[in-house]
Each structure stands twice: as C-alpha cells, then as structure tokens.
Amino acid sequence: MKEKMNALKVEIEEKLGSVTTKKEVIDLKNNYLSKKGPISELSGMMRELSNEEKREFGKSLNELKTEVNRLIQEKLTYYEEEELNKKLASEQIDITLPATKIPVGAPNILEHIVEEVEEVFMSMGYDVVDGPEVEEDKYNFELLNIPKGHPARDAQDTFYIEDENILLRSQTSPVQARTMLAAGGNKPIRMICPGKTYRRDADDATHSHQFMQIEGLLVDKNISLSDLKGTFDVIAKKLFGEDIETRFRPSYYQFTEPSVETDISCFACKGHGCSLCKNTGWITVSGAGMVHPNVLKNCGYDPKEWTGFAFGFGAERLAMLKYGIHDIRTFYQTDLRESSVFDRKEV
C-alpha cells in the first residue's frame, strides 16, 4: 500500500508538472481529490490493516492529501495570477496616445453679436430686458403713437393672431411701452431689449419673416439728441473699431420726434467707397430718435419733466455687416458651418 501511495504521489506530481492551463489543474483536482478518486480509494483500503498500521498509514495518507492539495493550490494560484496580469496589461491606459478629438459646438453668429451688444450696453449701465413675442396691438402700435387705421402701420406688414388685437410683434419697440408703464412714470430708465420680431415678408437675401431687433430706451431728465449722438458714437466704436465715425440723417418714425437714421463710416473701405457701402462711404445701422411726447404721456411719463431717446438695431444686419454675410437666410438654416461663429472672420 505504501508503494501504491508513493506511486500515486509521483504520478500526481508528474501530471501537475505537465499541465498548461488552469482548466487542466481543475480537472486534475476533481479527478484525484474527489470522493471516488484514488486517494479516497486508498483510505478505503485501510479497513484491511491492523490498528497499528492504520495509524501509520492514515497519517501518511493525510500528509499526501495535504501535499497534493498544496501543490494543486499552488498551480491554481499561478494560473489565476497569470490571468489577472494579462487582464491588467490589456486594460492598461496608454497616456501617451493622442486623445480622441471631441467635436465642440460654436455659438450661433446672431447670438454672438447680441451678446456683444449686450455687453457694451451693460458696461454703460443699461439693463437687458425681455418682452413677449405674441403681443397686444396696444403695445406694438397704439401706445407708440400709431393708432388703428394709421398709414404708418402699412410699413410693418404684421402677422395677426385670431383677431386684430393679438399679433406677433413686428418690432421690439413695444418693450419700450411695457418698460415705461412698469417703471410707473417716476424713475429714469436705461434698457435694451434684444428679441425676435415678425413681419409678413417674403423671404429672400435681405428679408426674413422672422428677424431680430435690439431695442434701446433711455428716459431721464434733460436728455437731448446730443446724448443719443454721444451714446451711439461710443457703441459704434466699441462694436466696429475706434476709427469709426458716426452721423445722423433725418428720418421719420411715429414714436420719435425728431427721428434719425444712424450711420457709421464704412469700416471696409474707411469711407472711400466700396460695394459694402454702395460707394457712399456710410452704412446705416439703426433707426433712432427722441421719444415722442405722446409716447411718454401714453406710458405714464410727464413729457414736460422727462425726455428720452430710443433706438432700434437690426441684429442680422449688424452681423451681416460685421462678418460679410450676404444672405439673411444664413442665420436660419441648419448648416452650422454658415450660421455659427466657427471659422468666421470679421470684415
């Protein structure tokens, strides 16, 4: 029996020495250490031995069992470690590899220009306010000195909703009325309101049924046209460059008196004449004027005590001039290469 045991030990050692995978070790374990395996078989044979022999053989058999267990465990540990190392090696991050380029968005050009204008005005103490796009006739026209049936309404081909009192605002000027009414007629006001506006225009390179205006209003005591001129001068220089000159031309709006068109000297040709300024050396950028006394009165301000100026920029026009864009539809299409500030250069 002793010989059988020694032979078994040699056999197991040999087999363990030639295994190449974890699975083979596990198979070996199942084979030799199971209840029906050769070691159990040997212990079964102990019944035939004397007590003395039983004690001695039992001890050796236990030692064999322990040893075989140890050897198998050693091999198992070896293969498990190898497996783990392989896994770790395959999951290693090579920090020297070039990073995957993540595509980033870019702001829409209109939004960009509006933010630029907002920043300039905020630096001069103006608030940025908001107003509804679905507006009442009262704010869009009547309080602004454009009564029902007045021919001045024809200039703004308006989208009416349901009846003649609710409309899509055709200008951002109603926010002037709303702001004055909310202020209660006894506080100075400095505000701009950028926002969407709508007119029943057929879309082409220079018209869009939806466009954006930036309205401005300043109300205080002793405000004159020269304050408007000074303010416009600062804004124009900040937006288009320090060497820009400005001028006013007489114009007509129902809600301002006097009314002006504000021009800047052409930044592309420096006033010499080019296609951008149609050879005049000047570019019109906004309508403006002194708030009409009727408008002040309609909105709760006493025109004997208070005066103010107002202006309205077309945001698309500003962006088109600044970035050399020739078609207003560019802002409302989905081609991001065109409508974002990505790759855009100022003129």
Candidate list 312, 315, 328, 339; residue touching ligand DAH; CB under 6 A: 312
Nearer to ligand DAH, 39 or 146 (CB): 146
Residue 16 binds ligand DAH, judged by CB under 6 A? no
Gap between the Cα atoms of 233 and 247, Å rounded: 9
Closest approach of Cβ 166 to ligand DAH, in Å?
19
Candidate list 145, 171, 231, 330; residue touching ligand DAH; CB under 6 A: 171
Ramachandran assignment for 65, one of left (phi > 0), alpha (psi -120 to 50 degrees), beta (any other)? alpha
Residue 289 binds ligand DAH, judged by CB under 6 A? yes
Candidate list 140, 145, 158, 173; residue touching ligand DAH; CB under 6 A: 173
* Residues 178-217 close enough to bind ligand DAH by CB under 6 A: 215
| Candidate ranges 59-67, 236-244, 308-316, 330-338; the one touching ligand DAH (CB under 6 A) | 308-316
230 C-beta neighbours (distance < 10 Å), count: 12
Q: Which residues contact 89 (CB under 8 A, 6 or more apart)?
A: none
Decide: residue 202, CB within 10 A, 0-12 exposed, 13-18 middle, 19+ buried.
exposed
Reading the block at residue 175, the tokens are 């926010």
- Measured in degrees and rounded to the nearest 5, phi and psi for residue 221 equal -100, 145
Gap between the Cα atoms of 125 and 113, Å rounded: 19
How many residues sit close enough to ligand DAH to count as binding (CB under 6 A)? 11
| Candidate ranges 60-68, 203-211, 307-315, 328-336; the one touching ligand DAH (CB under 6 A) | 307-315
Ranges of beta strands (E only) in the chain are 127-128, 134-136, 160-161, 163-168, 189-198, 210-220, 246-251, 256-265, 282-291, 307-314
The alpha carbon of 277 is separated from its chain's Cα centroid by a whole number of angstroms, namely 35
| Candidate ranges 128-136, 204-212, 306-314, 336-344; the one touching ligand DAH (CB under 6 A) | 306-314
Candidate list 131, 174, 194, 287; residue touching ligand DAH; CB under 6 A: 287
* Residues 217-236 close enough to bind ligand DAH by CB under 6 A: none
Alpha-carbon torsion (146, 151, 156, 158), positive or negative: positive
Closest approach of Cβ 145 to ligand DAH, in Å?
11
Closest approach of Cβ 188 to ligand DAH, in Å?
17
Gap between the Cα atoms of 238 and 226, Å rounded: 18
Q: What is the contact mask toward ligand DAH in residues 17 to 56, using x (rule: CB under 6 A)?
A: ----------------------------------------
Residue 240 binds ligand DAH, judged by CB under 6 A? no
Q: Which residues contact 13 (CB under 8 A, 6 or more apart)?
A: 71
* Residues 252-271 close enough to bind ligand DAH by CB under 6 A: 253, 256
Residues forming the site for ligand DAH (CB under 6 A): 171, 173, 215, 253, 256, 287-289, 310-312
